[in-house]
Amino acid sequence: MKNNQLVEKIIEKIFCISDFKLNQKIVLHEPYFKNTNALKYAKECINSGWVSSAGKWVENFEEKICAYTGSRYAVAVSNGTVALRLALFISGVKSSDEVIIPPFSFIATANAVSHLGAIPHFVDIEPNRLGLSPAALQQRLEEISERKNGLIYNKLTGRRIAAVIPVHVFGNPLKIIEIKKICDHWKIPLIEDAAEALGSWVKSENSIKHCGTFGKASIISFNGNKIISTGGGGVLITDSFSLAKKARHLSTTAKIPHKWEFEHDEIGWNDRLPNINAAIGSSQMEILDKRLESKRKLFEKYSEIFKDIKEIELVREEENCISNNWLISIRLKGDNKKNLKIMRNEILNYAHTKNILLRPSWNLINTFKMYKKNPSGELKIAEDQVYRIINLPSSPQLIDL
């Protein structure tokens, strides 16, 4: 098929998904509050006067996150980026340490590292699920690391490698069991960026675990475009009592509880999720299963309509994984690498003229000027995948209201 024919065919197919109204903009992912208790709970919260960083809704929301994910502890904070910075900090990441991350992620993964004065170190992804590659991680560690006093150092830079942050890209679980094995072997703390992965699971021999429950501490985001939203918000999850306690303390200005005294024992942050956002979050947790179900149906529909276009494939969950289908993506096949970016841009361009706001994947983080000179392994897979991926409109309300 010629490029322009392919482009038209793809867009024509997307129109089959839903009875889109003419001139209606079809966006990538929209939050949903209609027919939910969002307003009711927010009103209750306002009427109580407890709208800020204390109140029963924060606790209620955290309990719901624990019950859903199976994590022992949850600390709700103001967004996913802050949650990640906090997870790194309580795991012992310090200024001038290196933290291994994939280049194929939202920039927040790198920024959270930088906010502590630490340095993102890029390691390649694996082509199917687009998450950090266990083989590349193992190889990179073998190439560069040396052990001193039980800690792992990058012998090229002399800096400590203080954590690894794999990312469950678009909600698709990465090879977390293999990554965890490697991190355990090298004794490097594992922190999962599960910002996009609420409702995503990984099966092993006789258990099933939620994404984010493999790491020492992990994070989920509730930004407006995520699968459920608190307006803005995030949560740190962990099974460790002492880490959760530390996170809670540091995220509330490290204030020592007392009836009236203002006593603080560390330099803390003001990171806690406001009660009013948590109230909305509690109402969103009530519709999570319904949204996941609709998303699965949407994925199946896309799968059906694209099955006869040989030039593309859908990015799919692999065996033993359950994806929340947060962003459903097509991958351009073919070996003509020069043509890929052109074809991708033609598809994006044409789709936007038809008001279907398709989005490319993020540009690789290591290509941004702030991160260009960072330590990095070979990034061949990420460089190849980046122009192949196009995200489709993925709101559950496209097929179900």
d(CA 379, CA 127): 11
- Taking CB under 6 A as the rule, does residue 41 contact ligand PLP? no
- Taking CB under 6 A as the rule, does residue 396 contact ligand PLP? no
Binding mask 181-210 for ligand PLP (x = CB under 6 A): ------------x-xx--------------
The candidate with the shortest Cα–Cα distance to 313, out of 305, 322, 321, 323, is 305
d(CA 231, CA 154): 40
Question: Minimum distance from CB of 337 to ligand PLP (Å)?
Answer: 26
d(CA 349, CA 292): 30
d(CA 316, CA 325): 9
- Taking CB under 6 A as the rule, does residue 81 contact ligand PLP? yes
Q: Which is nearer to ligand PLP, 130 or 195 (CB)?
A: 195
> 335 in helix, strand or coil?
coil
β-sheet bridge partners, residue 119: 98
- Taking CB under 6 A as the rule, does residue 80 contact ligand PLP? yes
Q: What are phi and psi of 91, to 5 degrees?
A: -85, 0
Size of the site for ligand PLP (CB under 6 A): 14
Residue nearest ligand PLP (C-beta atom):
80
Question: Minimum distance from CB of 325 to ligand PLP (Å)?
Answer: 15
- State CA 375 to chain mean position distance: 23
CB 235 within 8 A of CB 222: yes
Maximum CA extent, the chain:
73
Q: Which is nearer to ligand PLP, 196 or 317 (CB)?
A: 196
Q: Which is nearer to ligand PLP, 91 or 221 (CB)?
A: 221
Q: Which is nearer to ligand PLP, 194 or 343 (CB)?
A: 194
Question: Minimum distance from CB of 196 to ligand PLP (Å)?
Answer: 5
Q: Which is nearer to ligand PLP, 223 or 394 (CB)?
A: 223
- Taking CB under 6 A as the rule, does residue 362 contact ligand PLP? no
- Taking CB under 6 A as the rule, does residue 221 contact ligand PLP? yes
Question: Minimum distance from CB of 326 to ligand PLP (Å)?
Answer: 9
d(CA 272, CA 45): 16
Of the residues 234, 375, 393, 396, which one makes contact with ligand PLP according to CB under 6 A? 234
Q: What are phi and psi of 62, to 5 degrees?
A: -60, -40
Q: Which is nearer to ligand PLP, 162 or 194 (CB)?
A: 194
Of the residues 69, 79, 238, 251, which one makes contact with ligand PLP according to CB under 6 A? 79
Q: Which is nearer to ligand PLP, 18 or 111 (CB)?
A: 111
| Token pair recorded at residue 394 | 């993925």
Q: What are phi and psi of 399, to 5 degrees?
A: -115, -15
| Token pair recorded at residue 79 | 């967004």
Selected range binding ligand PLP among 23-31, 76-84, 137-145, 374-382, rule: CB under 6 A: 76-84
Q: Which is nearer to ligand PLP, 221 or 374 (CB)?
A: 221
Q: List, as one string, the DSSP characters of 345-366.
A: HHHHHHHHHTTB--EEPPPPGG
User: In the range 101-160, which residues lie near ligand PLP by CB under 6 A?
Assistant: 105-106, 108-109
Question: Minimum distance from CB of 381 to ligand PLP (Å)?
Answer: 18
Question: Minimum distance from CB of 170 to ligand PLP (Å)?
Answer: 9
Strands 234-238 and 73-77, sheet pairing: antiparallel
In sequence order, which residues have a C-beta less than 8 Å from that of residue 167 and are 6 or more positions away? 101, 102, 104, 105, 109, 131, 132, 174, 192, 193, 195, 196
Contacts with ligand PLP by CB under 6 A lie at 79-81, 105-106, 108-109, 167, 193, 195-196, 221, 223, 234
